[in-house]
Amino acid sequence: MIELRTAREIDEMKAAGEFVASTLAALKARADVGVNLLELDAFAHELIRQRGAESCYLDYAPSFGSGPFGYVLCTSVNDAVLHGKPHSYRLHDGDLLTLDFAANVDGWVADSAISIVVGTASEQDLELIRLTERALDAGIAAAVIGNKIGDISHAIGSVAAEAGLRVNTEFGGHGVGRTMHGDPPVPNSGRPGRGYPLKEGLVIAIEPWFMRGTDKLRVDPDGWTLRSADGSRTAHSEHTIAVTADGPITLTRRLG
């Protein structure tokens, strides 16, 4: 069921957005060569505890995963793009790391993701990250009253198509509110003018994720981590936004 939020509820959701954004900024600053993915997860866990927030991932057990996720942070490295389960891996120079984080603050959820390169970055990796960020900006710009979900999807997919990338639509954006994943789904490619009409009060996560050489996924033995089928590099950017009469509000806007 699609739920629309009042202006007051959207204002209440800002605290969750600010916490998720600040946590990702802190994680980005801490991620470095030699840092273990489990250390990053433990750090995020501590920030959740200090804030009095709740993790959206810890006990999450959807149909597409294998049992409860068990961690508070998704850490996807290099060819991993989504749902990367933290494990004992120390980051190497040049690793492309995606951090995906969602939390509940005072009953409201926000969800966001960033991709960064640890240490020495190749221009190809930086360009892939920039493409996801450009697609995210395009999707947000299309999130206005009078448009439809397909307009957001088309805006995202057009950025990928212009760069010669194929888009996987098995996983994409989604409604956000009292829970992390809700309706409507927001695919990363689609036809303009199609789908659910965007209305004031709609809160969604928009999350373009691209793979350099394929649109096919494979699943790790952990039952969660999704990787590019051909081993090519991947990147992922995500914001939680609200559709308002004055245009989209990015609840997880990153400062600095």
| DSSP of 79-137 | TEEESPPP-S-B--TT-EEEEEEEEEETTEEEEEEEEEE-SS--HHHHHHHHHHHHHHH
Taking the CA atoms of 213, 223, 115 and 242 in sequence, report the sign of the dihedral they define: positive
Sequence ranges of the domains in the chain? 7-250
93 is in an annotated binding site: no
pLDDT for residue 183: 97
220 is in an annotated binding site: no
100 is in an annotated binding site: yes
pTM for this one?
A: 0.97
83 is in an annotated binding site: yes
Q: Taking Cα atoms as reference points, which of 210, 216, 222 lies closest to residue 65? A: 222
Region 10-39: mean pLDDT is 98
Q: Taking Cα atoms as reference points, which of 63, 80, 20 lies closest to residue 44? A: 20
Homologous superfamily assigned to 7-250: Creatinase/methionine aminopeptidase superfamily (3.90.230.10)
pLDDT for residue 82: 98
Q: Taking Cα atoms as reference points, which of 61, 55, 46, 62 lies closest to residue 103? A: 55
Q: What percent of the chain has pLDDT over 70?
A: 100
87 is in an annotated binding site: no
174 is in an annotated binding site: yes
Q: What is the pLDDT of residues 65-94, one digit of tens each?
A: 999 999 999 999 999 999 999 999 999 999
Burial of 98 (0-12, 13-18, 19+ CB in 10 A): buried
Q: What is the pLDDT of residues 206-238, one digit of tens each?
A: 999 999 999 999 999 999 999 999 999 999 999
207 is in an annotated binding site: yes
Whether residue 256 is predicted with pLDDT greater than 80 in this model: the reply is no
